[in-house]
Chain A
Amino acid sequence: MTEELQAQPEERQIYDPIGETPTSYLREPEGAHPPLDFPPYKSTSLRHPKQPLMYLPQTITEITGPQLGTILVGETDNDLTVQHAGEPIGERIIVSGRVFDTEGKPLRGTLVEIWQANAAGRYKHRWDRWPAPLDPNFSGAGRCITDDEGRYRFTTIRPGPYPWGNHYNAWRPAHIHFSLLGRAFTQRLVTQMYFPGDQFFPYDPIFNSVRDPKARERMISSFSIHDTVPNWAQAFEWDIYLRGPGATPFEEEH
């Protein structure tokens, strides 16, 4: 880490074999992301802008992005089962996949950060107080950087579903939170990865805030027998797509 920080700026640059830095990114269609105001998810009511969003032209500030990987990611940060003296309780799983842009180009060097509840559905967080056990051997956070093929890989424990206070008898489907920095401000994404066939899908306003059923499917991982480790771990695969290059209209004013 120290060496990286002391490196000259020129040396810190990463040669990009994939292609030139895009000068503009796709403007996503309506409905690609959930609405900011979504009454079934009650906390949105006071936390969304009332005025329509204004169009921001993509300038150099929007098409550039930070490099945090070298200072943030340690060698074992992608294994959430080795962070304590003992092993966490639960189903050991490999969660892996690739990060692409919408043209299908793999995005290398992207910081992927995850956090999650333990096998019993409890977060190691002081505000999570529902009566499920904490696991002294599980903190629930990990980081990694995508490789040259855009691939990330975590070893963790399958999280449990848990109740929350949105409405009577509300439960969140089991999920892992994902944060991706991308290579540009335009590509920043925070989302959640779900597991196939979760019984709580029909009842969860956060999952269903994505109105297009096909878009919802893109948040669900798939079981991968190929990635399982015999006598060791199950595996789930999930590819993530960030905005790719796209012509952006110079002005939308008429």
Chain B
Amino acid sequence: MIFETTPSQTVGPYFAIGLPFDVGPFAVPEGTPGAIHIAGTIFDGAGVPIPDFLLETWQSDPDGKFADMYGYGGTTEMEGFRGFARYGVEDGDGTFDILTVKPGPLPGLAGATQAPHLDVSVFARGMLHRCVTRIYFADEAEANASDPVLARVPVERRSTLLAEPDPAGGGYRFDIRFQGPHETVFFAV
């Protein structure tokens, strides 16, 4: 390393001027076969839904291929797959809702296989740096059991990383809690 990184600053209260875009919440186009919603609520330390936040997700397609700029790991062949969703709200009820497909299993470290997951960044006023977490799927119990990242998380906190099937919502439900007994696991990347 020769240079130091530029420090992070908060996204502030007015990011809606610049960051959200029309198809942001769609990691896949509407009408994509097998598309699922992942929806949930983000709660602050008092258990109150956060009305203003920006949430971003990044993931592979069902074959474990990314829409990576440089084609790393082999490029997705899925029509219209972006793998990235951005959901921004300035005065909401704390909920987000993205449309995507379930990602595939992925190579992990040292020959391990990772369970299907999404990487998540949360930005908001009052957050001086993004908060990173992962979404896994509760109905992938077998894959989750051998996931090398989940394995590092204390057993009693693993459920905070699991999206629960929500057939009524067309997919899964994943809530994010910043503090309290069910505080979501956040990661240093």
Contacts and interface: CB of A to CB of B under 8 A. Distances in A.
Given A102-B3, A241-B5, A109 B126 contact: no
A62 interface: yes
A59 B106 contact: yes
B5 A243 contact: yes
B42 to A, nearest CB: 10
B41 interface: no
Interface residues of A, number: 93
Given A59-B106, A179-B18, A185-B58, A100 B3 contact: yes
A44 B126 contact: yes
B35 interface: no
Interface string B110-140: 1000100101010111111111101000000
Given A124-B17, A177-B11, A215-B7, A62 B128 contact: no
A59 B107 contact: yes
B168 interface: no
A56 B114 contact: no
Contact of A191 (B6, B16, B117): B6
B183 interface: yes
Given A185-B119, A186-B189, A219-B6, A65 B50 contact: no
Interface string B83-126: 11000001100000000000000111110001001010101111
Contact of A12 (B44, B75, B90, B121): B75
A147 to B, nearest CB: 15
A250 B128 contact: no
Contacts of B82: 66, 68
Interface size grouping (class) on chain B: 35 or more
A84 interface: no
B contacts with A: majority SS: loop
B132 to A, nearest CB: 7
Contact of A63 (B72, B77, B121): B72
A11 to B, nearest CB: 10
Interface of A: 5, 9-10, 12-14, 16, 21, 26-28, 32-36, 38, 41-51, 53-68, 71-72, 100, 102-104, 109, 113-115, 117, 123-128, 139-143, 177, 179, 183, 185-186, 188-192, 206-207, 209-210, 214-216, 218-219, 240-244, 246, 250, 253
28 contacts: A13-B71, A21-B70, A34-B128, A36-B127, A42-B126, A46-B46, A46-B179, A49-B186, A51-B185, A55-B187, A56-B149, A57-B149, A60-B72, A61-B59, A61-B117, A62-B189, A66-B68, A66-B83, A102-B1, A102-B2, A125-B17, A127-B13, A140-B18, A190-B130, A192-B10, A206-B128, A240-B6, A250-B109
